[in-house]
């Protein structure tokens, strides 16, 4: 399932050069984006970057100031929310407190004047889907946070929309329940074969649930890619820094020997090489970016001459049980973090504070970024 790699596939939802202004504030800035049918798509970015506004334009709660939003090739501009095949589930759940779970789920169907037997069948189907059958007669205040979240989900799925819009759907749940619910959501989305679009500022959540992620900054999309591409091949320091932990080493591009890129690290005299090419000219300012778990650490320089290596001193070690994070200071004063799996019992450390060490990694371990 990767329609975005198929040049013939047409996006199901399309933003064409969309701008949204509130007064003189630009919330969404000349943005173009395609989301495919049956895709689980995540909008990720810091607070205020325009994620919710983008989603509200799909739902019809906001109209673009400029540009077009299309669904299945049809321009949605001017189509009211209730005529769109979309539904939005809010973070607050917005359940009716005086109604039972059953009536909350049935509410929209009754409004649509669906025949009673069909309503009953649909509500039962939804209750089974979210595993809330035994709770049908309860009121929202008699439910846990996770159960309320599932009622809200069942209610927003009851009309079988083509697109479900989820605005921070798991924000009110604690970490463990959140993680369980993420897997339930992906499972549900696959079973139903619907398009899910989720807004979140939690990068782990986006990585867990989504087929693709759009990382946003100030009303623009910086990168759209699969979770693995976003994590392994970020296109900018902004994306690299936003997703997970990363080391950034400043330097200048040097002429590369082969296909990859070569960076002279500022102040160390060391160069690092990557297998990933860059487009900028030698001499340009650039950054080498590498995830801490791609770096290995040793008391000797690496035996393999194709590996990149930098020398430094251990100044801190964080023991996290499954891994230890070594903070290694380079001659420039910059720190590089290396995350090492603790595969054996670590009562005594082979490498410890103040040790002079070599950090090393393979050429495809990191990337050179020019913006």
Interface residues with ligand ATP (CB under 6 A)?
22, 25, 27, 45, 47-53, 199, 201
84 neighbors 59 (Cβ within 8 angstroms) = yes
Residue number, 194 or 199, with CB nearest to ligand ATP? 199
Residue number, 29 or 250, with CB nearest to ligand ATP? 29
Q: Tell me how far, at minimum, the Cβ of 18 lies from ligand ATP, in Å.
A: 13
Strands 247-254 and 163-167, how do they pair? unpaired
Residue number, 205 or 273, with CB nearest to ligand ATP? 205
- Please, which residues bridge with residue 44 across strands? 200, 215
- Tell me the two tokens of residue 216: 């946003």
Residue 107 to residue 70: CA distance in whole angstroms: 28
- Tell me the two tokens of residue 175: 């970490």
End-to-end CA distance of the chain: 31
Residue 330 backbone dihedrals phi, psi, to 5 degrees: -85, 170
Give which of 98, 119, 101, 100 is closest to 110, Cα–Cα. Answer: 119
Q: Tell me how far, at minimum, the Cβ of 56 lies from ligand ATP, in Å.
A: 7
Residue number, 159 or 201, with CB nearest to ligand ATP? 201
Q: Tell me how far, at minimum, the Cβ of 23 lies from ligand ATP, in Å.
A: 7
- Say which DSSP state 79 is in: -
Residue number, 65 or 352, with CB nearest to ligand ATP? 65
Q: Is 46 helix (H, G, I), strand (E, B) or coil?
A: coil
Q: Tell me how far, at minimum, the Cβ of 167 lies from ligand ATP, in Å.
A: 8
- Tell me the two tokens of residue 185: 């959501």
Residue number, 64 or 292, with CB nearest to ligand ATP? 64
Q: Tell me how far, at minimum, the Cβ of 219 lies from ligand ATP, in Å.
A: 7
């Amino acid at each position: 399932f990767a329609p975005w790699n198929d040049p013939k596939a047409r996006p199901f939802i399309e933003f064409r050069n969309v701008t949204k202004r509130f007064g003189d504030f630009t919330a969404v800035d000349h943005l173009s984006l395609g989301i495919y049918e049956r895709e689980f798509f995540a909008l990720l970015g810091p607070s205020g970057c325009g994620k919710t506004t983008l989603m509200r334009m799909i739902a019809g709660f906001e109209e673009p100031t400029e540009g077009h939003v299309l669904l299945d090739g049809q321009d949605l501009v001017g189509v009211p929310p209730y005529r769109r095949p979309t539904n939005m589930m809010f973070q607050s759940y917005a359940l009716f407190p005086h109604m039972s779970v059953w009536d909350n789920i049935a509410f929209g169907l009754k409004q649509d004047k669906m025949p009673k037997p069909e309503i009953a069948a649909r509500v039962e189907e939804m209750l089974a889907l979210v595993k809330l059958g035994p709770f049908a007669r309860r009121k929202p205040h008699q439910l846990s946070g996770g159960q309320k979240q599932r009622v809200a989900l069942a209610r927003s799925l009851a009309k079988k929309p083509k697109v479900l819009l989820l605005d921070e759907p798991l924000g009110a749940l604690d970490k463990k329940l959140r993680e369980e619910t993420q897997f339930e959501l992906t499972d549900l989305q696959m079973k139903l074969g619907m398009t899910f679009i989720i807004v979140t500022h939690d990068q782990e959540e986006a990585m867990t649930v989504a087929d693709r992620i759009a990382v946003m900054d100030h009303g623009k999309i910086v990168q759209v890619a699969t979770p693995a591409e976003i994590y392994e091949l970020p296109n900018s320091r902004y994306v690299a820094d936003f997703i997970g932990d990363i080391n950034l080493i400043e330097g200048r591009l040097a002429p590369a020997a082969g296909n990859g890129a070569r960076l002279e690290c500022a102040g160390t005299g060391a160069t690092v090489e990557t297998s990933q090419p860059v487009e900028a000219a030698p001499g340009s300012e650039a950054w080498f970016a590498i995830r801490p778990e791609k770096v290995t650490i040793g008391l000797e320089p690496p035996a393999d001459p194709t590996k990149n290596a930098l020398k430094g001193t251990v100044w801190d070690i964080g023991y996290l049980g499954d891994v230890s994070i070594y903070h290694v200071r380079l001659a420039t004063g910059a720190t590089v973090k290396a995350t090492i799996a603790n595969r054996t019992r670590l009562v005594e450390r082979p490498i410890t504070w103040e040790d002079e060490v070599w950090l090393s990694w393979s050429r495809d371990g990191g990337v050179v970024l020019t913006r």
